[in-house]
Structure 1
Amino acid sequence: MRILYDHQAFTGQRYGGVARYFHGLMESILEMGIEVKLSLPFSNNEYLKESSVHRPQGFKHIFGFMPTNMLVSRTNRLNSLVQIKRGKFDIFHPTFFHSYFLEHLGKKPFVLTYHDCIKERFNLPHLDNASHTQKQELLNRAAKIIAISENTKKDILQLYKIKAEKIEVVPLFSTFKTHQLPKNFQVKTPEKYLLYVGARNDYKNFIPFVQSIAPVLKKNSDVVLLCAGSSHFNHEELEVIKSLNLETQVKHFNFDSDDTLYYLYQKAIAFVHPSLYEGFGIPILEAFACGCPVVLSNTSCFPEVAGDAGLYFNPAKADDIAEKMEEIIQNESLRKDLVQKGYKRQNDFSPEITAAKTLAVYQSVL
């Protein structure tokens, strides 16, 4: 069996959940002895720099960020079309929703991974450039559709005209399960902190969460909410934090490596995930792997992923959020219990499991 993956998720992003997923998937399938090819001549993606699958040529933004990215994207797309027309593969797996390949596949089958329906649920057109009609066409013509959670499968069935038997659920994984920190690795952090990881926009529910836990932070004045991610607080966030007099207790932390993020999870009182919706929630598995208690919303896929290893709150109820955050701060035995349950729960997710289930999907369409 020969699998061809395309350029889309890797062209313009150095990091990102979709690129991380596909890179981990390709590495695992390659280790199973299956021939894997990534059609990608140019990329600055960090996951590919030491890849066993493919190491593309890096590039500089000599024409400015967006013009250079557009030029590289078109070049990579042409390369993907060349590989598709050569036909030296059995299954094609696009890494995003552009339909450039549809008229060139001939009789070759393709499998489509659908991560989440955030764009559709929250009317956020900036998340991708594919319309509902374009996605419907891809879903219609795909030999099989991989949904990363039962929740995503349910949403696809509600939002698109598709038969349930065409969709297979294949869960994601975290590489943190086998991650090892360098000897004597340390990062300067607050002594006691709750950890928030990633973006804070829209459906992430960040500002309502901060407003909900303000009384808890004031009561526990030695505890900091540490927000790890690349984007600094915006004007609205700064204004809310200032209005709550939490400038010294809500802080941003820009991390630059998995080692740093792993360390942050390890030292945190707990990881907090107040999002209203996710397709899967890989940070949950990252926290489990690091021995970090997890406190999270009781919505979308979260109960499906965390099981009994999370402390849940209703993200729409400030009192419930505050109650659970006070409980996790004060109750050491609860934190220890959640850590042990997290270690056990993470065994249900691994690169090997994801690769084996994906391979079964591939085999089913040949």
Structure 2
Amino acid sequence: MKILFDHQAFTGVRYGGVSRYFYDLMVTLRQKDVQTQLSILFSNNAYLLESDAFRVQSFRYFLGFMPTNMLFSQVNRLWSIAQLQRNQYDVFHPTFFHPYFLKHTKKPYVLTYHDAIKDKFGEQFGHIDNASKDLKQQLFDRAARVIAVSQNTKNDLIELFRIQPEKITVVHHATAFQTLNVPETFRISVPDAYLLYVGTRNDYKNFIPFLKAIAPTLQTYSHVHLLCAGGGAFTPEETQTIRHLKLTDRVSQRGIDGDWMLYRLYQNALAFVYPSLYEGFGIPILEAFAAGCPVVLSRASCFPEVAQEAALYFDPESAADSQSQIEKIILDESLRQSLRQKGRERGRDFSLAKMASETLQVYQQVV
């Protein structure tokens, strides 16, 4: 069987959950003797550039970030169209919602729906993607199957779109961190005690409200820091908030230079905290599990489905509850040890091999 994937999630995105999902899926399918082809010529995606699995050419942002991305996206789109028209594949799996392929593919296609954040909350978080609900409905109508990354996301699909439940298959995410071999000699400099926040901090991620909620705790326990990994440098609003809360020397941000560094950040943390108001799955949860890091989550959307009893939960709308649970994780070493063990056990339910096998079953159903 030959599966064709396209360029959409890879052209200008260096890191990110969606591109990581498709990269891991393609590589793991190859281990199952499934031919996977990625129709792309130019990319700055770290997963592709640091791997010998796919041949791509990096590019410079000589026109500025967005104009250059748009230019190379157009080039990659033309290349994808050419591969579609060659018709040398069994199933097409587009990596995002641009409908360019509808006029060019004669084979069945499968779509993965990662989260309902924009479609559920509308203009409040409308910047997340450029695809309208009407456009997504058109794509779902013509798709042979739709993959939802959690049961919660499947429920959202049924609620928000005209789509039959039997057309949707739940395939949970996984993480390569389960088999990541970090050399013992690889070390990073971190605070002696810190809570870890990973990824972007905008809007529904609920970062500033969470920071305000736990500020008294950070002030009380002066040895504890909050370390934010990835997501870019603090914005002026975030910097002002941190300064106003008198936490300038207690809250820091650093970039993520590869999986080894991120693994160590999880491994050395008191806990990984995820205060988001809504997610489709939450891959950092699995990364934390794999690294033996206690997990503290908002009691929202798919989080209880993914982590079950292997996490501590708080109400993201309640400052008092947020503060209470964070203090509990700081003070109780036995609780942290229990969550580490539960996390390792729960993490075994989410392997790349299982994700690839279940996705392959979907492909086989539509051929």
TM over 0.5, shorter chain: yes
**Quick check: 208-217 or 239-248, which moved more?**
239-248
Distance 1:298 1:125 in 2: 23
Partner-residue secondary structure (3-state), 2:166:
helix
What's the CA shift for 1:62? Answer: 2.6
Contact 2:198 2:231 in 1 (8 A): no
Partner of 2:277: 276
Contact 2:49 2:58 in 1 (8 A): no
Partner of 2:104: 104
User: Following superposition of structure 1 onto structure 2, how do residues 223-262 of structure 1 map, counting pairs within 5 Å?
Assistant: 223-262=224-263
Partner of 1:116: 115
Contact 1:37 1:53 in 2 (8 A): no
User: Following superposition of structure 1 onto structure 2, how do residues 201-220 of structure 1 map, counting pairs within 5 Å?
Assistant: 201-220=202-221
Distance 1:82 1:255 in 2: 35
Partner of 1:322: 323
Partner of 2:62: 62
| Matching of residue 162 in structure 1 with residue 160 in structure 2 | no
Amino acid at match of 1:312: Y
Partner of 1:25: 25
What's the CA shift for 1:64? Answer: 2.7
Partner of 2:3: 3
Partner of 1:75: 75
What's the CA shift for 1:252? Answer: 1.5
User: Following superposition of structure 1 onto structure 2, how do residues 191-206 of structure 1 map, counting pairs within 5 Å?
Assistant: 191-206=192-207
Partner of 1:180: 181
Partner-residue secondary structure (3-state), 1:208:
helix
Partner-residue secondary structure (3-state), 1:321:
helix
What's the CA shift for 1:122? Answer: 2.9
Partner-residue secondary structure (3-state), 2:100:
coil
CA deviations over 1:28-79 (Å, ceiling 9, x no partner): 1111001111111111211112435422122222333222211111111111
Amino acid at match of 1:81: I
CA deviations over 1:176-223 (Å, ceiling 9, x no partner): 111122232111111110111111110011111111111211111110
Distance 1:365 1:51 in 2: 30
Contact 2:9 2:19 in 1 (8 A): yes
Contact 1:111 1:146 in 2 (8 A): yes
Distance 1:49 1:70 in 2: 19
Partner of 1:298: 299
Distance 1:68 1:214 in 2: 41
Distance 1:252 1:61 in 2: 25
Partner-residue secondary structure (3-state), 2:112:
strand
Partner-residue secondary structure (3-state), 2:348:
helix
Amino acid at match of 1:49: L
Amino acid at match of 2:32: M
Contact 2:3 2:91 in 1 (8 A): yes
What's the CA shift for 1:121? Answer: 2.5
For structure 1, list consecutive stretches of 5 or more residues without a partner in the other structure: none
Amino acid at match of 1:245: K
Partner of 1:93: 93
Distance 1:51 1:189 in 2: 28
Contact 2:201 2:231 in 1 (8 A): no
Q: Please, what TM-score do these two structures have when normalized by structure 1?
A: 0.97
- Among the aligned pairs, what percent are the same residue? 56
Distance 1:121 1:233 in 2: 27
For structure 2, list consecutive stretches of 5 or more residues without a partner in the other structure: none
Q: Please, what TM-score do these two structures have when normalized by structure 2?
A: 0.97
Q: What is the root-mean-square deviation in Å for CA atoms of aligned residues?
A: 1.1
Contact 1:36 1:53 in 2 (8 A): no
Contact 2:292 2:343 in 1 (8 A): yes
Distance 2:210 2:101 in 1: 42
Contact 2:218 2:225 in 1 (8 A): yes
What's the CA shift for 1:99? Answer: 0.4
Partner of 1:285: 286
Distance 1:346 1:225 in 2: 24
Amino acid at match of 2:84: I
Partner-residue secondary structure (3-state), 1:200:
coil
How many residue pairs match? The answer is 365
Distance 1:43 1:237 in 2: 31
